Amino acid sequence: MSQTRLRRHAFGIALSGIACLAAACSNAGPSSVPGNAPYAGVVMSYPHSGCSYTSSPVDFCDAAHRTQIEEAIRTQAPNFKTHYILAQLEERREYFQRSIVLIDSRDGTVYPLPIDAFSGPLVSKEGAREYGKVETSRQGDTFCVSGALLVYRAFEEGRFCFGFDGVRFTGHTTQYMQ
């Protein structure tokens, strides 16, 4: 494939990842984890603009996030509340920041946790030196994040536990949930 055709092909794939709505997208491919449904779209249950929480720089529908979500669907078994895949998505590696999404393995719907990112503890003005920790279990009703949460341009450090009722996150409340 020529360099120009390859670029156009990649651009077309990137655009399809951005412009697709819900189950209309079929680029997900077959799942290698038995029983996981293909990607079906992102549901934002709190104030948002498109696929970003209001004032958040994170777009959960962009090509980079879509690729990571589809990879999680292909490779991860449910690890929360029997049928959800709790996936950590890379945001800013240089700051050890990731975001979290829940993916319903039965229908492929993605529910982003209302944060910009989380990291390990902040050790200096330079930030974290490691990734934050996530505790979850397949049978559990809550998952916990230890480290620093970045929400609406502010950090909060500690151990934060969340539940999910099928539509909204419960437990710890972030600025995006108010």
The tens digit of pLDDT for each residue in 146-159 reads 999 999 989 999 99
Residues β-bridged to residue 98: 90, 118
Read off the tokens for 167.
Answer: 């539509």
Work out the average pLDDT over 58-86: 98
Residues 6+ apart with CB under 8 A from 99: 58, 60, 88, 89, 91, 112, 113, 115, 116, 117, 118
pLDDT of residue 88: 99
Residues 6+ apart with CB under 8 A from 2: none
Distance CA 68, CA 90 (A): 8
Half-sphere exposure of residue 145, counting CA atoms within 13 Å on the CB side? 31
pLDDT of residue 19: 31
Work out the average pLDDT over 57-82: 98
pLDDT single digits (tens) 104-147 = 999 999 999 999 999 999 998 778 999 999 999 999 999 999 99
pLDDT of residue 33: 76
φ and ψ at 160, to 5 degrees? -120, 125
Query: Quick check: 78 and 44 in contact, CB under 8 A?
Result: no
Q: Residue 38 gets which letter from DSSP?
A: P
Whether pTM exceeds 0.85: no
pLDDT single digits (tens) 1-52 = 444 333 333 333 333 333 333 333 334 445 467 789 999 999 999 999 999 9
